[in-house]
Structure 1
């Protein structure tokens, strides 16, 4: 085995699998997850529009406001927003500190990009951990209008935190390889 291939295999941590192949697999996984989140977000927005439309129709046409529609709309907003946030981290669609980095020397820029992605990763991990804790603490309570657990309000933030961690790892690997993370829809 050539020395470069042996180093790539050792870097991957798996016998016989080059680091580039493992990184490519991970990137494809993250892209699929992000696309899935976007499709769920689209369906969530459609469901949100339907719930709000039904609420308006019930209020002004039937003169009987469906109480569940508002609660469902609020819950859907949480899901759509949190999934969109995670995809925004992956596709670098968020407002970032990188705008000042274009003026920095290459070495400083690279170190700062590592720091930024590491901090985003830590934030995602803290968000996931704490939202799982919150969901567990209120799981026995019920949302009276939807007849589901109150914990479902914290599930999207926990899932988003896990996705943010995965997508931040993808960015750190891309930085280490000297590549860019391609947007999910490219």
Structure 2
């Protein structure tokens, strides 16, 4: 049974020499975080404009509410996808990490399989929503309602990619060692 410090040194060895696939996926996750961050700044600015328009100009911009709802979905979905890659989602690791090596690894596979299945579900249902709402427009901003569902497809694809790579890399690592 390996100790936690041995696991950390193994993880540190992996982070010192990441493969080109890992660098690419890490870059993709970082891009998700950057886009979500830029959208967050835009969201703050638009709410500032809403307050300024409402209380200073006495002319409330009506587009802010609907555009904010769309932006929040993008921020949430991109952050969730990046969280899958960075293993930074809320989880209760102490139960899994307290187990012996074999059950711990099985639980990691099960967790990644659940995320992969959920990602497939998001892609399937999100695509259905995108196609169903192409002709409907969002009130006040005049863009297709499909823009609200598109982040589900994007996030689902990224979640399947990130969790699928986790599974494959773990399998390859277990065959080597």
Q: Could you say which TM-score interval applies, normalised by the shorter chain?
A: 0.7 to 0.9
Aligned to 2:94: 99
Aligned to 2:144: 149
Query: In the alignment, which of 129, 146, 159 is matched to residue 164 of structure 1?
Result: 159
What is the TM-score normalised by the length of structure 2?
0.84
Query: In the alignment, which of 154, 162, 173 is matched to residue 168 of structure 2?
Result: 173
After the TM superposition, which parts of structure 1 deviate over 4 Å for at least 4 consecutive aligned residues?
A: none
Aligned to 1:55: 50
Structure 1 gap segments, 5+ residues each: 1-22, 180-186
Is the 1:139–1:150 contact (alpha carbons within 8 Å) kept by the matching residues of 2?
Answer: yes
Query: In the alignment, which of 53, 59, 62 is matched to residue 64 of structure 1?
Result: 59
Is the 1:30–1:170 contact (alpha carbons within 8 Å) kept by the matching residues of 2?
Answer: no
Number of matched residues? 157
Post-superposition shift, 1:172? 1.1
Cα distance in 2 for partners of 1:78, 1:97 equals 25
Aligned to 2:129: 134
What is the root-mean-square deviation in Å for CA atoms of aligned residues? Answer: 1.6
Deviations 1:32-72 (CA, angstroms, capped at 9, x unpaired): 11011011011101110111111111111111111101111
Structure 2 gap segments, 5+ residues each: 1-17
The structure where helix makes up a greater share of residues is: 2
Cα distance in 2 for partners of 1:178, 1:56 equals 54
Aligned to 2:118: 123
